[in-house]
């Protein structure tokens, strides 16, 4: 435990000796006026009211209470702070002093082995001294030389497994060209420290800024802004400040950046993007309650479903793995099984804030589509399903209105001609108790692969992939804007229009130039990591969206569906002849892939 080092020197006054201070103030009323004007006397007065016997580890809590400042963060974000092991905690610096005090208090409650790289002037407060690695932020010829020592101390601390707090800006946020009030450029010391220590990084963001007087003072002279920092500490009285904590960034990821500048930009992005965290994390619960007004349909009789499965012809049984079978059927072949699909669709979709709100999620399209399902023989229960539409047959029988996707998007005839050899996929689900494993979804896709090998004329897969209302608005905007910018199939997109279009506006991240954001977020893996920071359950982009993109899928349009939990549907198209060989072989196996591609090559030669 750290103990209080009681010093007679007043840490907030301009003189380091109390008796000398009194004599000096009698001789120099200007110094007294300056200390009063700058808030130093008030800070010293509050400090003097604290019990000098308070242990150092309790000092931040008592100091915050004396300043009448509280702070809050979400419980799930608190759990993101590692309780042990080396870690570099980085934070923006909007206020000047209070955020450091908050972090010290917070970390004291979680782990004892942390230090904070901070202005050497803070060492005048004896209760903080043992927590500090002191640096000179004021520049000059000697600062660069003297700051080598704290860099070595920081590396040594991290090598010992400790946590290090850094404010990479080295100074308080101020107006920056084209970015508003935010941190100035971050120090190049940060990426060097991260590379040399090989420690993971934890981004922390403090929303807010100091007021206009502080910013105006900085325009006169930066040092004048610095002189106002004690007043900025005092004027937070009565406030509850927020902080937001992102997910831990692994060292192996950070080691992959080509240079320090790119790494620094990425760390700043992951910190400032936490500003996008909003309060819309209870949507799933709200939606579930609303949909649950209509009770779910009763489960179907397992014996009756098993009998229907037993009567399906062998060619409709695609594969089996242990107790699980993948098979397909038409509506008239297994009416009880279809009713169970409708019930489980609704149950599963409700849990993520989607669903129709009816007792069962079935519609008139189910009568015409094929149903590929995963069946547990041992338990006699349905595990999951996909709905498959053979576009040529559906359009021939009912025109474009025979396609479910036509209820969401308007298709020009030229597009339907291009999709003559396509399958429309949709309404996929895995029932909740099987979602802990990826195996059920993999088996469904192996079933789709087997179906394609048996019916090789189908070159394209397309359909709506949903971004549920369970995601925050900022996460949804981040996903759709990135997909529209980097994954849109422009020539075919011109042949589609949405019935309820989605505004595709780039998401502005404070403190980050738009161009730098766009380049770093061109990869959906990075977008997924950012979304995970913003979501209370740390979920990334939807699993099926990631899956289709992995197959080489491209988007044609986006539509909002208020009748299905207000989801955003992206119309995605996969050209299987352009999918990576390794990906398709995973679902078709090697011989099936060779057979399928040979047929497609023959089709291309004929064309």
| Cα–Cα distance, 276 to 534 (Å, whole number) | 7
Question: Which one has a higher pLDDT value, 255 or 607?
Answer: 255
* CA pseudo-torsion sign 434, 435, 439, 444: positive
pLDDT (mean) for 269-276: 94
Closest CA to 204 of 242, 172, 239: 242
In the chain, % of residues over pLDDT 90: 70
- pLDDT confidence band for 297 (50 / 70 / 90): very high
| Cα dihedral 540, 543, 549, 554 sign | negative
Confidence of residue 284 (pLDDT cuts 50, 70, 90): very low
**pLDDT, tens digit (0-9, with 9 covering 90-100), for 207-228:** 999 999 898 888 888 888 888 8
Q: What is the mean pLDDT of residues 65-72?
A: 95
Residue 445 has pLDDT above 80, yes or no: yes
Mean pLDDT computed over every residue of the chain: 89
Tell me: the pLDDT tens digits for 382-421? 999 999 999 999 999 999 999 999 999 999 999 999 888 9
Nearest to 126 by CA among 25, 16, 234: 16
Exposed/middle/buried for 483, CB within 10 Å: 0-12, 13-18, 19+? buried
Element spanning 88, H or E: strand 87-91
Rounded distance between C-alpha atoms, residue 158 and residue 153, angstroms: 9
Phi/psi at 464 (nearest 5 deg)? -85, 130
pLDDT at 518: 81
Return the bridge partners of 329, or none. Answer: 371
Nearest residue to 134 via CA among 151, 114, 158 = 151
All structural domains of the chain: 74-276 (no CATH), 283-606 (3.40.630.30)
Name the pLDDT band for 500 (thresholds 50, 70, 90).
Answer: very high
Alpha-carbon gap, residue 594 to 606, rounded angstroms: 18
For 237-266, what is each residue's pLDDT tens digit? 999 999 999 999 999 999 999 999 999 999
What is the per-residue pLDDT for 138? 63
**pLDDT of 7:** 47
Residue 449 pLDDT greater than 70, yes or no:
yes
pLDDT of residue 141: 55
Say whether pLDDT at 93 is over 80.
Answer: yes
> What are the b/e assignments for 285-308, b being 16+ CB within 10 Å?
eebbeebeeeebbeebeeebbeeb
Angle between helices 473-486 and 524-534 (to 10 degrees): 170
According to DSSP, residue 273 is labeled: G
Look up residue 104 and give its two tokens: 């010290």
* Model pLDDT, residue 326: 98
pLDDT at 9: 73
Q: Which of 30-44, 67-81, 418-432, 530-544 has the lowest mean pLDDT?
A: 30-44
Helix 335-350 with 283-291: angle, nearest 10 deg: 140
Structure tokens at 213: 């007087």
Would you state the pLDDT for residue 13? 79
Alpha-carbon span 201 to 247, nearest angstrom? 9
Judge contact between 404 and 329, C-beta under 8 A: no
pLDDT at residue 576, as a whole number: 97
Q: Check residue 285 and give its pLDDT.
A: 40
Residue 146 has pLDDT above 80, yes or no: no
Tokens at 373, concatenated: 């399902």
Per-residue pLDDT at 25 = 47
pLDDT of the residue at 161: 96
How far are the Cα atoms of 280, 494, 579 from residue 491, in angstroms, in the given order? Answer: 36, 6, 19
Report, as an integer, the average pLDDT of 522-540: 93
Helix (H, G, I), strand (E, B) or coil at 147: coil
DSSP H stretches of helix in 85-221: 98-108, 126-129, 141-146, 148-159, 189-197, 212-220
Residue 250 near residue 532 (C-beta atoms within 8 A): no
604 burial class (0-12, 13-18, 19+ CB within 10 angstroms)?
A: exposed
Q: How much is the average pLDDT of 350-365?
A: 91
- pLDDT, residue 415, reads 93
Distance (Å, rounded) from C-alpha 337 to C-alpha 411? 32
Residue 531, pLDDT above cutoff 80: yes
Band (pLDDT 50/70/90 cuts) for residue 607 is low
Non-local CB neighbours of 29 within 8 Å, separated by 6+ positions:
none
More confident residue, 120 or 448: 448
**Nearest CA to 189 among 167, 205, 216, 162?**
167
Q: Which tokens is 197 given?
A: 């220590």
Predicted pLDDT at 288: 41
Measured at the CA of 11, the angle between CA 34 and CA 133, to 5 degrees, comes to 120
Q: What is the average per-residue pLDDT within 111-135?
A: 89
Distance separating alpha carbons of residues 600 and 212, to the nearest angstrom: 66
**Backbone dihedral angles phi then psi of residue 276, each to the nearest 5 degrees:** -75, -10
The residue-averaged pLDDT of 528-545 equals: 94
Place of tokens 């980097």: 486
From first CA to last CA, the distance across the chain in angstroms is 79
Weakest-pLDDT range from 130-134, 282-286, 574-578: 282-286
Query: Comparing 514 with 596, which gets the higher pLDDT?
Result: 596
Distance (Å, whole) CA 122 – CA 137 = 12
Residue 15 contacts residue 32 (beta carbons within 8 Å) = no
- In the chain, the percentage of residues whose pLDDT exceeds 70 is 92
- pTM, two decimals, is 0.86
Residue 282: band (very low, low, confident or very high) from pLDDT cuts 50, 70, 90: very low
Cα–Cα distance, 42 to 37 (Å, whole number): 10
With tokens 């740390």, the residue in question is 538
Q: How far, in Å, CA of 444 to CA of 450, rounded?
A: 10
Check pLDDT > 80 for residue 307. yes
pLDDT in tens, 20-62: 545 454 456 777 777 787 878 888 888 889 888 889 889 999 9
pLDDT of 34 reads 76
| Residue of higher predicted confidence among 2 and 238 | 238
- C-alpha distances in Å from residue 472, one per residue of 22, 435, 538, 546: 57, 22, 12, 18
């Amino acid at each position: 435990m750290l103990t209080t080092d009681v010093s007679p020197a007043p840490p907030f006054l301009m003189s380091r000796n109390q008796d000398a201070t009194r004599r000096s103030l009698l001789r120099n009323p200007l110094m007294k006026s300056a200390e009063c004007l700058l808030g130093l006397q008030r800070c010293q007065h509050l400090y003097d009211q604290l019990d000098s016997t308070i242990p150092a580890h309790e000092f931040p809590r008592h100091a915050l209470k004396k300043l009448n400042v509280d702070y809050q963060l979400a419980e799930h974000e608190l759990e993101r702070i590692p309780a042990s092991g080396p870690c570099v905690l980085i934070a923006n610096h909007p206020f000047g002093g209070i955020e450091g005090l908050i972090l010290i208090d917070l970390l004291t409650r979680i782990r004892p082995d942390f230090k904070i790289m901070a202005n050497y002037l803070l060492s005048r407060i004896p209760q903080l001294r043992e927590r500090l690695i002191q640096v000179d932020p004021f520049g000059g010829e000697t600062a660069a030389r003297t700051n080598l020592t704290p860099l070595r101390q920081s590396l040594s601390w991290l090598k010992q497994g400790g946590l290090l707090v850094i404010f990479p800006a080295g100074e308080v946020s101020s107006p920056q060209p084209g970015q508003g009030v935010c941190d100035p450029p971050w120090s190049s010391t940060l990426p060097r420290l991260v590379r040399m220590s090989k420690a993971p990084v934890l981004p922390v963001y403090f929303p807010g800024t100091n007021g206009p007087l502080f910013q105006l003072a900085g325009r006169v002279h930066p040092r004048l802004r610095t002189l106002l920092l004690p007043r900025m500490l005092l004027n937070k009285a009565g406030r509850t400040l927020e902080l937001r904590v992102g997910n831990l960034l692994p060292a192996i990821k950070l080691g992959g950046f080509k240079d320090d500048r790119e790494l620094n930009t990425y760390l700043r992005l992951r910190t400032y993007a936490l500003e996008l965290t909003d309060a819309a994390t209870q949507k799933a619960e709200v939606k579930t309650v609303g949909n649950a007004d209509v009770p779910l349909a009763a489960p179907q009789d397992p014996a009756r479903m098993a009998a229907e499965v037993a009567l399906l012809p062998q060619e409709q049984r695609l594969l089996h793995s242990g107790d699980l079978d993948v098979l397909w059927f038409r509506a008239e072949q297994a009416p009880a099984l279809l009713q169970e699909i409708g019930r489980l669709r609704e149950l599963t979709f409700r849990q993520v804030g989607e669903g129709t709100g009816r007792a069962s999620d079935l519609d008139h399209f189910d009568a015409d589509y094929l149903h590929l399902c995963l069946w547990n023989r041992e338990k006699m229960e349905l595990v999951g399903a996909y709905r498959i539409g053979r576009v040529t047959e559906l359009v021939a029988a009912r025109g474009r209105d025979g396609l479910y996707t036509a209820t969401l998007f308007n298709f020009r005839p030229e597009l339907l001609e291009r999709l003559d050899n396509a399958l429309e996929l949709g309404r996929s689900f895995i029932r909740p108790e099987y979602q802990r494993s990826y195996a059920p979804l993999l088996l469904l896709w192996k079933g789709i692969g087997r179906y394609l090998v048996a019916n090789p004329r189908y070159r394209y897969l397309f359909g709506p992939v949903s971004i549920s209302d369970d995601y925050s608005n900022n996460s949804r905007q981040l996903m759709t804007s990135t997909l529209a910018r980097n994954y849109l199939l422009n020539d075919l997109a011109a042949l589609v229009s949405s019935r309820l279009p989605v505004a595709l506006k780039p998401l502005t991240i404070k403190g980050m130039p738009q161009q730098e954001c766009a380049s770093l977020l061109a990869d959906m893996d990075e977008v997924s990591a950012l979304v995970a920071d913003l979501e209370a359950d740390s979920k990334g982009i939807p699993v099926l969206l990631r899956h289709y993109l992995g197959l080489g899928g491209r988007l044609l349009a986006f539509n909002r569906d208020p009748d299905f939990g207000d989801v955003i549907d992206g119309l995605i198209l996969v050209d299987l002849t352009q999918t990576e060989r390794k990906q398709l072989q995973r679902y078709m196996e090697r011989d099936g892939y060779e057979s399928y591609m040979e047929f497609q090559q023959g089709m291309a030669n004929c064309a």
